[in-house]
Amino acid sequence: MKKIGILTFHGADNLGAVLQAYALCEFINKEINFRTEIIDYECEEVEKTRYVQGGNFVKKIPLALYYRIKRHGFDRFRKKKLMLSSNKYKKENIKKCNTMYSTFVAGSDQIWNIGCSGNDTTYFLDFVEQEKRKISYAASIGTTEIEKEKVDELKNYLNSFDAISVREASSIKKLDLPKDTSILPDPVFLLTLEQWRRVATKRKLRKRYVFVYLIQEDVNVLTSAKKYAKENEYDIIINKKSVEFILNNAPDLFLWWIENAEAVFTNSFHGTAFSIIFEKLLGADIILKNGKHNNRIEELLDSAGLKECIISEENYVPKKANAKKWLNMQRKKAYEFLKENI
Evaluate whether 112 touches 141 at the Cβ level (below 8 Å): yes
Alpha carbons 319 and 203: distance in angstroms, whole number:
26
Q: Which of 85 and 314 is assigned the larger pLDDT?
A: 85
Start-end of CATH 3.40.50 domains in the chain:
3-191+328-341, 201-323
> What angle (nearest 5°) sits at the alpha carbon of residue 198, between those of residues 225 and 304?
50
Q: Is the pLDDT of residue 211 over 50?
A: yes
Assign domain 201-323 to a CATH class. alpha beta
For range 142-164, the mean pLDDT: 90
> What angle (nearest 5°) sits at the alpha carbon of residue 12, between those of residues 64 and 310?
100
Helices 15-27/269-277 angle, 10° precision? 50
Question: Amino acid identity of 242?
Answer: S
- Identify the CA nearest to 14 among candidates 144, 184, 188, 264: 188
Per-residue confidence (pLDDT) for residue 324, from 0 to 100: 96
Per-residue confidence (pLDDT) for residue 55, from 0 to 100: 46
Compute the mean pLDDT over every residue in the chain, rounded to the nearest whole number: 92
| % of residues, the chain, pLDDT over 90 | 77
Alpha carbons 89 and 41: distance in angstroms, whole number:
5
Q: Is the pLDDT of residue 329 over 90?
A: yes
Backbone conformation region of residue 305, classed left if phi is above 0, alpha if psi is from -120 to 50, else beta: left
Tell me which long-range contacts 226-235 makes (C-beta under 8 A, separation of at least 24).
227/316, 228/263, 228/265, 228/283, 228/316, 228/317, 228/318, 232/262, 234/208, 234/209, 234/210, 234/262, 234/263, 235/207, 235/208, 235/209, 235/210
For range 16-42, the mean pLDDT: 97
Q: How much of the chain is in helix, strand and coil states, percent to nearest 5?
A: 45, 15, 40
Q: Quickly state the pLDDT bin for 207 (edges 50, 70, 90).
A: very high
Q: Quickly state the pLDDT bin for 64 (edges 50, 70, 90).
A: confident
Which of 39-48, 125-134, 152-161, 225-234 has the weakest average pLDDT?
Answer: 39-48
For range 239-263, the mean pLDDT: 92
For range 220-247, the mean pLDDT: 93
pTM (two decimals): 0.93
Alpha carbons 325 and 328: distance in angstroms, whole number:
5
Q: Is the pLDDT of residue 288 over 80?
A: no
Per-residue confidence (pLDDT) for residue 1, from 0 to 100: 60
Alpha carbons 257 and 239: distance in angstroms, whole number:
10
Per-residue confidence (pLDDT) for residue 315, from 0 to 100: 93
Alpha carbons 302 and 298: distance in angstroms, whole number:
6
Architecture category of domain 3-191+328-341 in CATH: 3-Layer(aba) Sandwich (3.40)
Q: Quickly state the pLDDT bin for 291 (edges 50, 70, 90).
A: confident
Q: Is the pLDDT of residue 63 over 90?
A: no
Q: Is the pLDDT of residue 56 over 50?
A: no
For range 22-38, the mean pLDDT: 97
Evaluate whether 274 touches 258 at the Cβ level (below 8 Å): yes
pLDDT in tens, 217-226: 899 999 999 9
> Parallel, antiparallel, or unpaired: how do β-strands 3-7 and 103-106 relate?
parallel
Q: Which of 183 and 50 is assigned the larger pLDDT?
A: 183
Q: Count the neighbouring beta carbons within 10 Å of the beta carbon of residue 117.
A: 19
Q: Count the neighbouring beta carbons within 10 Å of the beta carbon of residue 45.
A: 14
Per-residue confidence (pLDDT) for residue 54, from 0 to 100: 47
Q: Count the neighbouring beta carbons within 10 Å of the beta carbon of residue 78.
A: 20
For range 136-149, the mean pLDDT: 87
Q: Quickly state the pLDDT bin for 53 (edges 50, 70, 90).
A: very low
For range 273-289, the mean pLDDT: 94
